[in-house]
Structure 1
Amino acid sequence: MTYTSNKLHWGTKMDFDIAALVATGGTALVEIMATDAWSEAKHIIKRLFGRSASGNDDAGFDAELEEARTEVIEARDHGDAQRESELVTEWSSRIRRTVQSNPEASQALIDLIELRKTYRDNGTGDTSSTNTAIANDKSRVYQQGSGQQYNF
């Protein structure tokens, strides 16, 4: 699935698309933390959250990212899928708030998702997947681990 940032407008019928993009972004962020693509991903993550690629003012954010990465690696090493899922939820919430307040950040989110996809398609990444979905009222959630599905 290819996402384009021109679809990201909160308060419209596109809310479902945005929610799906944010959930995918949270999963991509957490998954990529435990991969060899981490150093490349950090630059995209900093852009997503409006941080400069270099500068001392980002030392606290860098430390936070490294701490989160350590948590992801430890969760995977111990087979703690619940903790990894909690991290996905936590980062998805942060991404949602960021994209809501700054729609231009959506392009960095798309870049992060594309990096994870490229990394996985090249066979260099872990092919496991963690999906997080929330359904309210009478809504439904359909999730697929890989491939494409078309519902007409």
Structure 2
Amino acid sequence: MICLNKKPAVFVFVWGGVLVLITYACTFLVAVVESWFDLKIDKNGVSEHTWLFKLIVFCVIAPLLETYLLQFLPYDYYKRHHKSMAWLILVAGVLFALFHMYSIAYAIVAGIKGMMLTYAYASWQGKHVSRFVVTTMAHAFNNIYFLTLELIMSLF
């Protein structure tokens, strides 16, 4: 059996996939709420940039910076002060949502993803690759997936 928390490639693929599935589940829930209550919820994120800009910023810089600020620093504080893991995950999720306040719907999805990334960060047990690297790569996996999807959809 492959241990999820010790194999970097499996960890990145599984957690990146979890983030993608969370996005789809939340998008479905937003659509249900919109239809039940006859609402139009703004779901847009950031979109009016060149593909190269998006690739560099959203798939390299953002995962590195956000993992440092929203997983590494809170986890480091948690380890030094022995605070509750639940609070760590919740606070990191709220901060992640605030970083992604393009719309309320987008921020909610981002907050959930931020909590999952923080949980993933805390659960990593590998010895040869750091928590920071695998969490950044899972985050980048998610962003690359949606950037690729956006590119494909723009062709039609």
TM-score by length of 2: 0.37
Q: Of the two, which has the highest radius of gyration?
A: 2
TM-score by length of 1: 0.38
Q: Which has the higher helix share?
A: 2
